Amino acid sequence: MFTVGAIILGIVAAFVVGASKTGVPGAALVAVPMFAVVFEGRLIPGATLPVLLVADVFAVAWYRQHTRWDLLRPLATWVALGFAAGVAFFVIAGDATRTLEVGIGGIVLLIVLVQLWRLVRGQPHREADTATAAIYGTGGGFTTFVANAAGPIINTYLAGLKLPKHELVGTSAWLYLAVNVAKIPLYLALGEWSDGGRFFTADSLLYGAIVTPAVVAGVFAGRVLFRRIPQQAFLVVVLVLSAAGALNLLV
């Protein structure tokens, strides 16, 4: 059974995940290292996934009318390529839990650095050309499959296209829901047919169910509370917490 500390940690992470879908894009990154305190190896992305899916459903329900499908279609092939690289990573890592934790920690830390660079440098305008879609789509597909950490990569890509905020949220909402649903059969197959154990267990699913109410609270709070909190300041806190969790995985 989970300790009180583990449940509190999960509630905080789930709340931030919910808020990230409606108020602070990219903040869901903090959930991965937080869940890594409770779980290890493949259970880290496996336990995080149901929480993300609940938040994705709300985001799609609220912002689906603002989706830019013309921007999503070119990304699909490249995200799939990133998924393939993610599958290869888990197959190669096998049951080496330490390798998985170092890989996940390294990805989260890299994304933190990318996000910090984006905050400091600002976001230059770019065109939605094939080369750009390939870079961001493949990178986003790999990081989301391995560590559920594609948010900053995809948000950086979409923000660079200078989309209005409602289009950025609506487009990313459908993308995240689609890729997170697509992970389920692949995680199940990897869990059955490769070394390293399963991504989902009764305990991990129970943990997700326990903290799910916090996701719901987060998505509603994200629409109200975070309009009054400077997003830059909140993102810095999220990035610091994410970096600390990533370093914990690495060290």
Decide: helix, strand or coil at residue 197: coil
pLDDT at 69: 85
Instruction: Note whether 204 and 43 are within 8 A (CB).
Output: yes
Distance between CA 65 and CA 104 in Å, rounded? Answer: 34
**Averaged pLDDT, 56-70:** 87
Predicted confidence band of residue 242 (pLDDT cuts 50, 70, 90): low
Distance between CA 248 and CA 225 in Å, rounded? Answer: 30
Among the listed residues 248, 100, 107, 79, the one whose alpha carbon sits nearest the alpha carbon of residue 175: 79
Max mean pLDDT range (65-69, 112-116, 215-219): 215-219
pLDDT at 101: 78
The residue to which tokens 């108020």 are assigned: 23
Q: Which has the higher per-residue pLDDT, 30 or 216?
A: 216
Within 13 Å and on the Cβ side, how many CA atoms surround 70?
6
Instruction: Note whether 194 and 91 are within 8 A (CB).
Output: yes
Task: Give me Rg for the CA atoms of the chain.
Answer: 17
Instruction: Note whether 63 and 169 are within 8 A (CB).
Output: yes
What tokens does 195 get? 């070394």
Distance between CA 236 and CA 233 in Å, rounded? Answer: 5
Q: Give the single-character DSSP code of 171.
A: H
pLDDT at 125: 57
If residue 29 lies in a helix (H) or strand (E), which one and from where to where?
Answer: none
Instruction: Note whether 96 and 194 are within 8 A (CB).
Output: no
